[in-house]
Amino acid sequence: MFGDDYVSDTLGAIRAGLQGGLVKTGKYRSGDENRLVCSGAIIVNNITEAADWCLSNYQPKSH
Residue 62 lies in a domain: no
Q: What is the pLDDT along the chain (63 residues), one digit of tens a residue?
A: 999 999 999 999 999 999 999 999 999 999 999 999 889 999 999 999 999 999 999 887 776
Residue 42 lies in a domain: yes
Q: How many domains does the chain have?
A: 1
Range of the domain at 12: 2-57
Closest of 62, 10, 17 to residue 41, by C-alpha: 10
Residue 63 lies in a domain: no
Q: pTM score, two decimals?
A: 0.87
Distance of CA 27 to the CA centre of its chain: 13
Give 53's contacts (C-beta < 8 A, 6+ positions apart): 21, 42, 44
Residue 25 lies in a domain: yes
